[in-house]
Amino acid sequence: MRLKDKVCIITGGGRGIGKETALTFAREGAKVVICDVDEGLGNQALQDIQAAGAEALFFKVDVTNREQIKAMVDGTVARFGRIDVLVNNAGVTADALLVKMTEEQWDKVIAVNLKGCFNCTQAVVPKMIEQGKGAIVSISSVVGLYGNVGQTNYAATKFGVIGMTKTWAKELGRKGIRANAVAPGFTMTEMTQKVPEKILDMMKEKTPLGRLGQPKDIANAILFLASDEADYVNGAVLPVDGGLVL
């Protein structure tokens, strides 16, 4: 078991990549803490993880709300005594071409995807510093490496996640804390259900492996970066996109 007895917080853990990562971590022996803004999905994920035999907690958290994040961190430490891994997965989209994008669309995506990642990491890191060890895995995107039409806001946040990751790797490495990012390609989740079928077909055709990603593909990459197997990996951005951008 690669995460035996490690305490792992996963934001946006109620669905998609977050939930798959939580289940993967549970199978690898982790104590899993899910946070999600959707209480129903979060509780269902909690039940699924507990059914798999893992210890788990759920906190209803809006990652733009620092008080809720503090309550989650405090509750996790009170229950488990430590925090070994933070997976910054919570994210939203609000797509529009540049000339049509509203300020509300811009602000919403920036608040959740970028500031939310900052908020959660800033809240967790003091505990990791105290322990002398920890791993932060933040979810970027292939869009954060190459941009995408209609996603000025989303691309800005995912580029930003990479910038923060590399900065944290430099700041926190000497304190025993690793910071890395995963950059998924088009992955079959609730988020991609909003994408027109013809676009998904086009992406599939462009991908050398001939298929779109599955949440499990991304979860496996996150697992590696969270585990001690990646103990000398710091500041990396791991694309998991089937070769889409080659």
DSSP string of the chain, one letter each residue:
-TTTT-EEEEETTTSHHHHHHHHHHHHTT-EEEEEES-HHHHHHHHHHHHHTT--EEEEE--TT-HHHHHHHHHHHHHHHS---EEEE-------B-GGG--HHHHHHHIIIIIIHHHHHHHHHHHHHHHHT-EEEEEE--THHHH--TTBHHHHHHHHHHHHHHHHHHHHHGGGTEEEEEEEE-SB-STTGGGS-HHHHHHHHHHSTTSS-B-HHHHHHHHHHHHSGGGTT--S-EEEESTTTT-
Whole-prediction pTM: 0.96
CATH of the domain at 90: 3.40.50.720
Q: What is the pLDDT of residues 115-124, one digit of tens each?
A: 999 999 999 9
Q: Note down the domain range covering 14.
A: 7-240
Query: In total, how many domains does the chain have?
Result: 1
Would you say residue 246 lies in a domain?
no
- Please give the pLDDT value at position 246: 59
Active-site choice (25, 58, 59, 154): 154
- Please give the pLDDT value at position 193: 72
- Please give the pLDDT value at position 179: 99
Would you say residue 2 lies in a domain?
no
Q: Which residues of the chain have pLDDT under 50?
A: none
Establish whether 146 is a catalytic residue. Answer: no
- Please give the pLDDT value at position 184: 96
- Please give the pLDDT value at position 182: 98
- Please give the pLDDT value at position 188: 85
